[in-house]
Structure formats: C-alpha cells, structure tokens
Amino acid sequence: MKIRVGVFFGGNSTEHEISIISALQALENFDRDVYDVLPIYITKNNLFYVGNDIGNIDKYKNISELLSTSTRVVPINNGNTLDLMIYPPKTFGQKIFATIDVAFPIVHGTNIEDGTLAGLFKMNSIPFVGSDVTASAVGMDKYVMKCVLKDNDVPVLDCILANKNEFETNEQKVLEKIKTKIGFPVIIKPINLGSSIGIKIAKNDSTLLEALKNAFMFSPQILAERAVTNLKEINISVLGDEDNQEVSECEEPVLSQDILSFEDKYMSGGSKKTGADAGSKSGMASLSRKIPANITAEQLATVQKYAKETFKCLNCHGVVRIDFMIDQDQDKIYVNEINTIPGSLSFYLWKAKGVEYKDLLDKLIKLGLKRKRKQEDLTFSFESNVLSHVNIGGSKGGKM
C-alpha cells in the first residue's frame, strides 16, 4: 500500500510565492510507485485548499480563479493520520476529501516556517518532514540563533538588536548605538525573514536611516552587524537527524551586488542552472552559482564541521541549508544563517553529490516516519489524582 503524503505550501508569509515554486518543483519528483502525493495549498489567509489544479503552476497567475475551482478543507486529527474534511461540510455525500499518513511542509518565511505549521502537525500526532517546533523557531529568529550558536562556540558575527518602538521613540539613539558598537559599513536585517527580504547595507548616516526604516517595515525587531566587505558566500546543506548527519556539496553564489539579493536568488535565470527550467520557475535552483565552491580544502573542512555542529546544536531534522560568510581579508569563516526549509529543498546541492531529487524526498519522508516511531516510545502523560484534591470554589480559586 502506498504512503499518502500531503505536501503543504503557501501560507501567510512574504515568501508565499517562493514556497509555491519550491513545492510544485518537488511534486514533479516524488516516486509515485511508493507515494500517493496530494498538494495542499495554504492561502495568505491560512485557509487550506485541494483540487485538480492546485499542482499546476500556471493556475497561480490568477489565485481567485484557482480557488473557485478548488475545494477548501480543514485538517482533522484521526489518530495517527490526518483527515482533510471538506468545508463547509456537506449534508449529503463525501465529507472527507482525503486522508494523509505523512505531512510534508514546503513553506518559507515568518508565520509558517517558524514552527507554526510544524506545531499543527505535532499537535495532531501526524508524522511530518523537517525540523520540530523549537528548531524551526530558533532558526527563524536570527538573533536567538546567533546567541545559541555563539554559546556553543560556533563562529558568528557580533551583532546588536533594535526594536521598532525604540526606533520610533528616539531614532538618533538607535543610530548612535549602531554606529558606536558596529560602525560602517553595517548590514541591517529584519530578525525573522529569509530570501534576503528587507536587508540593506548602510555606509553612512543617511543610508543607515533608510535601511532601518526599510527593515522595520517587515519586522518589529532588526539585527545590525558588521558588513564584511571582501566577502565570499558559501552555502551547504545538511541532511539527517540527531543520530546521523550528511553534508552536501558546497556552492558559491554569484553576487550581482554587495549582498545576495532576492533577485539573485529567485529571478536571476543565471548561466548555472540546475533543474528543468530557468528563472523564477526554478526557485533557488535558478541562482547563478559555482558548484563546487572555489574554496580551499581547509576552508571546506571548516564549513562542513560548523554546518554539522549548527545542525546538531539547534536540533534540526530533515534537510536544511546553512549559509556561511568568508571574510577574505581576515581569513575567517562565520555562520550567517540557517534555512530549516531551504528554497528548492537544496536539491541541487545534493544532486551535485550524486543524490537524485527523488531519493532526497524519499530520505526525508523516512526520517519523518523514524522520528514518529521514536516519539511513540516516550512518555507524554503523568498519572496522578491531583484533580481529586482541587477546589476551584471560594475566593482563592484553583490557583496553586
């Protein structure tokens, strides 16, 4: 009997469209002899839809029309499976659209990749692919991630945190803090976004103010850190769980400016492409890149070492991509950020190492099922008669 896999994508995120590209790309590569695969689209209002056209990229040019020909469903816990109930419910006829055995989230960005969707699956006791709630949340929060890694001797650039209320109350104070503690050039980032959204480099007071205003449009907190001027960016993927980790080939993105931009990542249509199509349809696979990266054997060993340590330190699961910065002036390597659900699932980095996309997806599903089996051996309840002694009446109430 085939395993029924629900591929969830979309959601209320600035990276909504990138998620669609990543997911539909993956849908073309599942082993259909082993898996029954159902695409489940999550709207920007976090409503779930299924239907014949949900897996057709061309239909997303007109979302309203797509939804009008699709079926809204609500995920309902059915033991160790998840029923997709038709909503609004029908008085007669079919009430359950489909039942899935494994959830496979391919989502990007705040409000969905940050553990929100993983929490839904975990609460409903269904096996799912990818990192758990805590790892997803920490991976999304750049400041918390840096604190955890730094505490575990993984090299990261020093940074400072600023919040929107502080900035709106006293712009000059925030500017002076950044200039004093970081200096120019400085890079300003929203604390919890990916795909290079909201990121700018500031080289003077006016561009710093502009960068802060831009970043605060996307997040109530921002990160400021030194901008590495003679920079080489290196990306690597890690696949596995707490028991075993494998590393992919390294890539060196080709930058069109000082930092890797959204356009570089998803709209470059560069000369080095790995996938069926170029440009935005291929997501991260369309990025102009060098594979393998042009780095020394010593640098490669360092990147691989810290990639595995980052994966283990954050307790990641499944496939992630970890982005590194090499300061070529100081010959130092830093972890920049982690993507717990990377664009295109980083399949192109594994393909460069001889792992086909179909096999990558198979490994990820097996890892999700393995985790579920291990969790079933744990105890999540504690028998006690405490309720027999609780009195919620009277002025004291039931607070203990």
Of 12, 245, 238, nearest to 108 by C-alpha is 12
Please indicate whether residue 195 is annotated as part of the active site: yes
Residue 206 burial by CB count (10 A; 0-12/13-18/19+): exposed, middle or buried? exposed
The torsion of the CA quartet 383, 386, 388, 392, rounded to 10 degrees, works out to -140
Q: To the nearest 5 percent, what fractions of the chain are helix, strand and coil?
A: 35, 25, 40
**378 three-state secondary structure:** coil
From the list 13, 136, 195, 282, the catalytic residue is 195
Count other Cβ atoms within 10 Å, centred on residue 18.
26
Integer CA distances (angstroms), 163 to 201, 216, 220, in order: 18, 8, 6
From the list 13, 19, 286, 344, the catalytic residue is 344
Please indicate whether residue 344 is annotated as part of the active site: yes
**149 three-state secondary structure:** helix
Element (H, E) at 266: helix 262-266
Q: Has 230 been labeled as part of a binding site?
A: no
Q: Has 141 been labeled as part of a binding site?
A: no
Please indicate whether residue 210 is annotated as part of the active site: no
From the list 15, 113, 233, 249, the catalytic residue is 15
Q: Has 124 been labeled as part of a binding site?
A: no
Q: Which residues are annotated as a binding site?
A: 323, 337, 339
The catalytic residue positions are: 15, 195, 344
Q: Which residues are annotated as a binding site for Mg(2+)?
A: 323, 337, 339
